[in-house]
Copies of this chain bind each other. A is one copy, B any other.
Amino acid sequence: MAVITLTSDYGLKDHYVAALKGVLHRELPDPKIVDVTHQVQAFNITEAAFILRNAYHHFPAGSVHLILVDEEALPNKSHLIMQLGDHYFVAADNGVLSMLNPEKKPDKIVSIDLRNSPELSSARDIFARAAAHVVRGGKIDLLGRVVKDMKVALVPKPIKRDNDKHLIGSVIYIDRFGTLVTNLQQREVTEMAKGRRMRINLPRGRKVDKILGHYYEEKSDGNLIAIFNASGLLEIALFRTSTDTFGGATDLLGMRLGDQVDIEFL
């Protein structure tokens, strides 16, 4: 039986997550539910997409991923189910689905229409019904109408400067260790480098001269490092520290979401 994952901005105190799980337990006899996170900043679909993007591909093929952020349907905002490779995603048509894997074209998008089930009174009920349908092996076409388009969210892209001497990215996520995750992709950086050496210019006069392939290449706790993470994105981190101990990279550099990271090719 396929896994159902939950990504929401519901927090962990209120009854919202439990109500959703209760409904899933009524829809399916023994659902396999995994929480991705319920700590997304309220209504922040960019953050939701970032977290799920890094998690979903670790799950088995056939998994259904529910995104409950800004999920209420409005007259101009329907509920969608998207097939992307071996995975299914349910969300409102608010742009979040477009950020899960921008490099990959969705295999199918269905605008969910369950008006013939009027007992479903909320996004929660509709998402649970859609998930149960997929878990039972149902085709997503049966959940509504196949559509060609969905809302596409604008995401900041790295910029080239000075005749390809610089690639300027930005911080798109800061994790609990204070590590700065950027939108600089390994493939793009490598192609643009054409074998040149690199230097990453950071605030407060800090520079990093190489990008590690693995954490174990570093030896000293607290050193500032750059590394491509498992998703191929450049991270700036302090080796084995965190914001709740001696401070992470975000504290050392005073960098926040949206701040620039400059790779200079020498």
Contacts and interface: CB of A to CB of B under 8 A. Distances in A.
A266 interface: no
A152 interface: no
Contacts of A23: 58
Given A70-B240, A230-B121, A39 B58 contact: no
Interface stretch (A27-35, A133-141, A249-257): A27-35
Nearest to A7: B18
B122 A43 contact: no
B25 A72 contact: no
Interface stretch (A8-16, A101-109, A161-169, A184-192): A8-16
Contact of A58 (B26, B52, B72, B230): B26
A12 B37 contact: yes
Which of A10, A11, A30: most chain B CB closer than 10 A?
A11
Nearest to A121: B230
A216 B125 CA distance: 16
A211 interface: no
A202 interface: no
A38 B75 CA distance: 36
Interface string A91-108: 000000000000000000
A13 B25 contact: no
A59 B12 contact: no
Given A25-B32, A73-B216, A216-B75, A18 B55 contact: yes
Interface residues of A, number: 62
Given A72-B215, A122-B230, A241-B43, A37 B22 contact: no
Nearest to A77: B216
A35 B37 CA distance: 14
A59 B122 contact: no
Contact of A13 (B15, B39, B63, B216): B39
21 contacts: A1-B30, A3-B22, A5-B18, A9-B176, A12-B12, A14-B176, A15-B51, A15-B55, A17-B35, A18-B34, A19-B54, A22-B34, A22-B57, A22-B60, A42-B242, A42-B245, A43-B245, A44-B245, A72-B216, A73-B216, A74-B216
Interface of A: 1, 3, 5, 9-23, 25-26, 30, 32, 34-44, 51-52, 54-60, 63, 70, 72-75, 121-122, 175-177, 215-216, 230, 240-245
